[in-house]
Amino acid sequence: MAIENLHMKNHPIMRWLLVIANLAALPVPAKAQSQLDSGNSSGPVASTTPAQSVLDYTRPTETTKVHNYLFDAFGPYPIVGAALAAGFRQVINASPEWRQGEARYDKRFGSNFGIAA
C-alpha cells in the first residue's frame, strides 16, 4: 500500500523526467553540405592539393588530463547533477531517516556529490 501511494504521489515528476529523457535522446538534425563551386559548372574544375586531415589524434598532456579530471569530478556538471538528484530525493523523501528541511537537503546534496566525485 505504501509503495502504491509513493508511486501515485510521484507520478507527475516521473512523467516530466521521462519527457526530458526523451527530448535529450532526439537526434540532432543534419546540416546541408555546401557546394564548393557555386558558379558556372560548365568550365574546367581547378585541381587543388588535398588539405591536411584535421582528424589526426594528438595525445593529451598530463596537465590536460589533470584539468579534465578536475572538471569532470568537481566542475559545474557534477554540481548541477548532485543538486538535481538531491532535490528529487528530497521530494520523494528518499532516505526517510534524514527527514525534510534545508539541512537535510544539504546532507542529500553532499552524499550525491561525494558519490559522483
Rounded CA gap, 79 and 101, in Å? 20
Q: State residue 26's pLDDT score.
A: 66
Rounded CA gap, 114 and 78, in Å? 10
Q: State residue 53's pLDDT score.
A: 66
Residues of the chain with pLDDT under 70: 1-53
Domain residue limits, the chain: 62-117
Write out pLDDT tens, residues 21-55: 656 666 666 666 655 555 555 555 556 666 666 78
| Helix, strand, coil share (%) of the chain residues, nearest 5 | 60, 0, 40
Q: State residue 109's pLDDT score.
A: 93
Rounded CA gap, 27 and 23, in Å? 9
